[in-house]
Amino acid sequence: MLSFGALAFTSPWMLAALVALPVLWWLLKVTPPAPKLLKFPAIRLLLGLREEEQTPAKTPLWLVILRTVLAAIIIIALAHPLLNPGAKLRGTSPLLLVVDDGWAAAPNWEQRKAAMDELLDQAERQSRAVMILTTAAPPGGEPLRTSKLLRAAEARTKAEALEPKPWPTDRALALEALEQAELPAAANVVWLSDGIDGAGLGALATRLQKFGSLHLFRDDDDATARLLTAEESAGAELAVTVKRAHGGAKASLWINGNDGEGRTLVRQRVDFAPGVTTRRVVLALPSELRNRLLRIAIEGGRSAGAVVLLDERWRRRPVGLIADKTTDSPQPLLNSLYYLERGLDPFSEIRKGPVAELLKRPIAVLAISDDAPLTDAGRKQVEAWVKRGGTAIRFAGPRLAQKPDELLPVKLRGGHRALGGAMSWSKPATLAPFDRKSPFAGLTVPKDVLISRQVLAQPSLDLAAKTWSRLTDGTPLVTAERRGRGWLVLVHTTANADWSNLALSGLFVEMLRRIVAISHGVTGRGSEVALPPLQTLDGFGRLQSPPASVEPIRGNTLDRVRPGPKSPPGFYGNESGRFALNLAAGQAGLKAIAELPHGVVQSVYTKTRERDFKPWLLALALLIAVIDTWISLSLRGLLPAPWPVRGTMARDSIGSAAGALFLAATLGLMLTATPALAQDEGGQTATGNDGFALQATLKTRLAYVRTGVRKLDDTSLAGLIGLSRTLTHRTSVEPAPPIAVDIERDELAFFPLLYWPVSPTQALPTTKARERLNLYLRNGGTILFDTLDQRLGTFTTPGGFVAAGPGAARLRRILAGLDVPPLIPVPQGHILTKAFYLLQDFPGRWTGGAVWVQKSGDHLNDGVSPVIIGSNDWAAAWAVAEDGQPMFPVVPGGERQREMALRFGVNLVMYTLTGNYKADQVHVPAILERLGQ
């Protein structure tokens, strides 16, 4: 490859042919054009006789120049010029492409895909074999292997299917796979890294260098992935920590907290000073909002490491302490409330007051000490509250020992057991290890926790089942009973230090925390119960249905599990108790690549793409050849000149040149007029508004909005062609080939449904176009906006849709000024889930993104939502090539997911065509029954 700055030639030896241009010049100059032939008889000679006629002895100079330029263009095109060429591959050895596909590669995955495309283009031009090695372990714990030596076209298919994984890279495992692979002795090695240092980096780089050359690409310092962590217990604060790999320049980012519906509850800015890599930020919000938080994410982070999922460990449940007044006691160390407050404060919101006042507000737990002012009426209120789902914790003491009541999980013996009494120990008792079925299972019992007094439970057949904690002699220390939908718990010792030192230990805090968690249905944590996956994060940080390769996690190992192929980050458990496994649990820190072996070439991913001039130069050469042919035929008299020409040979030359210019202008008009023609799959073309109207109305057609981004428009066309074929084969709808719509000038009323892929670079609608779109929506039209972002959730559009990503950011500006109704995620039982197929979700090329429709209650437009918004790239999943084969891979579900995407497309078309027909079917049984009467 020969380079001149940003310009390079992949076949520079072809430029040697430029030396022959002077010889070609001389040959063209001395060779006269073919003589003009005239038919006999001689009278024809008299008619064409001109007084100044001359016979050319050589080719005109301007024609020689034209043909010399033609030859030079062909030579330069065959030399294959490139602008901004990618990594230079030397020699003829294969290309070994190493790709970091862990979570840290996700934020700038598009740049890595672009780099792969350029490298594979170069390998294809040079007929170079390609081998691909990824550094993140495959899903399900399968062994990591390199690919075989592939042709560039085959490697491109494999590269298209690559997606970042929601766990870290394992470069040591990649090195093992490299050692076991059958590799040639020499290779061009290009490493598309994520820019993050880690174990095994140096060893892998050293091994790759042995193949000859190693070129490593990394992200720019400001573009390297960020890591977000959240502290489980931060007192009254909810704190998160943001880490970045580079401590370079000053930087700012935003943190977003969303609830289960995607609504933003908190948004806070994080500023990094120069040289700072870690920032701790406290998210200040009321406990009611904090308890609704489900997800905290870095805006624009687009990775599993930029997301923290929250479960009960981050909730601050309101706990009521029954007291006469909320003022502190003058002797706090003797007051039971003092110990309860400090034991509950790290993870709960404390409220104090009489029973009647506490129960006026929602609370999770009532803590009742022995000296609490609890009347008979108050006990009845508490018991009724427990039966409705509350949890009450009672602590024993002298009053309860002397006068037990009915608000207890077990019956008590009279009196209490104490050191030196009738029912006494010879020494203080210690706690036995917690049973695995106990909510306290997994907690470590300190040896210095001693119990000197307790109230004793009356023996019964169900006492063992009600016991959560025992002493070493087997007597119960904590008992509990289910009352209605709630729990009634009794601690058989005091809440202060009178009868034991339990209240002085850290175990007391952990036991209270477990009981508070139980109050909201959290079960399984700390036990050996298997927690199945509910939802998992993909590499881009999107929640999705768990893949089949994910395995359950045991509750007693949850704190020790590190995210990986068998246990990706996400939610585990069941709907009554969900536990969050976050990527940050397995990340000690974040450090940028600093040191590499000597000789490794490093580059930063750039946004400029390689440009190939060869096809453009060949097209130009073809155009010049056509012009030259026209001129040659004109000089020989085989083609008429554009206008009558008389006089010298110079005038004939001018006429021929004018003819050539006329031909060039005609071709230019044809090329520029092509976009204005409406052409369908079958080759039918209609010009003007009348032709467009005929095409749109004579047959039912699906339509897509022309964005001006050619690749995106081609995908939309191929996708709607695939969906149209599916509709023809499976339903009574037989649509004609799809058509593109220009919202600025085409009539929209002809189409019940418009597919609108949103590109961050497409132009915004004008005021006139927005008026046309509003009229279309008001008159019954439906637009499916596809942001292609595969995730939603940072800001709110005019209709209430919460969105994030570059496509969604553009959509927000597009929707400004449109009559967008209030939107909600598709609810269960919506017509879109049963219009033709019964569906639970709506995947496209990607999955996990929510689909938003009009909020129910408005029966205009026959119950059809005028605006539907999603992000799963449905057109790419529907798209088929000319041979009917799919054009794009579908991840992560493969062909099963493509089938579900097609079913969603069928449901969508049926939904827009039939309206609330399916919803009305629920009334058919009642109507038939009434008719029978």
What percent of the chain clears pLDDT 70, i.e. is strictly above it? 77
Sign of CA dihedral 768, 774, 780, 786: positive
H/E run at residue 97: strand 95-99
Helices assigned H by DSSP within 674-766: 688-698, 710-730
The tens digit of pLDDT for each residue in 372-402 reads 888 888 999 999 999 988 899 999 998 888 8
d(CA 577, CA 701): 48
Sign of CA dihedral 515, 517, 519, 521: negative
The tens digit of pLDDT for each residue in 464-521 reads 999 999 999 899 999 999 998 889 999 999 999 889 999 999 999 989 988 887 775 4
d(CA 378, CA 356): 7
CA atoms within 13 A on the CB side of 771: 4
Residue 450 banded pLDDT, cuts 50, 70, 90? very high
Q: Are strands 823-825 and 570-574 parallel, antiparallel or unpaired?
A: unpaired
d(CA 319, CA 235): 14
202: its two tokens: 């140096």
pTM (two decimals): 0.54
Residue 642 confidence (pLDDT) above 50: no
Look up residue 870 and give its amino acid: G
d(CA 109, CA 218): 12
Alpha carbon distance, N-terminus to C-terminus of the chain:
89
Helix-helix angle 152-160:109-125, to 10 degrees = 170
Look up residue 88 and give its amino acid: K
For residue 463, count CB atoms less than 10 angstroms from its CB and return exposed for 0-12, middle for 13-18, buried for 19 or more: middle
For residue 923, count CB atoms less than 10 angstroms from its CB and return exposed for 0-12, middle for 13-18, buried for 19 or more: exposed
Q: What is the pLDDT of residue 86?
A: 58
Strand partners, 238: 283
d(CA 140, CA 376): 59
Residue 715 confidence (pLDDT) above 90: yes
Residue-wise DSSP of 5-58 = TTEEESSGGGGGGGGGHHHHHHHHHHSPPPPPP-PSPHHHHHHT--TT----SS
Inter-CA distances, 773 with 742, 779, 816, Å: 11, 10, 12
572: its two tokens: 């585990």
Q: What is the pLDDT of residue 793?
A: 37
* Long-range CB contacts (within 8 A, 24+) of 655-663: 656/630, 656/631, 657/62, 657/631, 659/630, 659/631, 659/634, 660/627, 660/628, 660/630, 660/631, 663/626, 663/627, 663/630
Task: Give every CB contact of residue 604 below 8 A, 6+ residues apart in sequence.
Answer: 217, 218, 219, 220
Q: Are strands 251-258 and 295-298 parallel, antiparallel or unpaired?
A: antiparallel
d(CA 196, CA 805): 24
Helices assigned H by DSSP within 161-300: 171-180, 201-209, 287-290
Strand partners, 757: 786
Q: In terms of pLDDT, which residue wins out, 157 or 313?
A: 157
> Across residues 304-313, what is the average pLDDT?
86
Residue with tokens 């590799």: 183
Residue 56 banded pLDDT, cuts 50, 70, 90? low
Q: In terms of pLDDT, which residue wins out, 740 or 56?
A: 740
Spacing of C-alpha 809 from chain mean position: 14
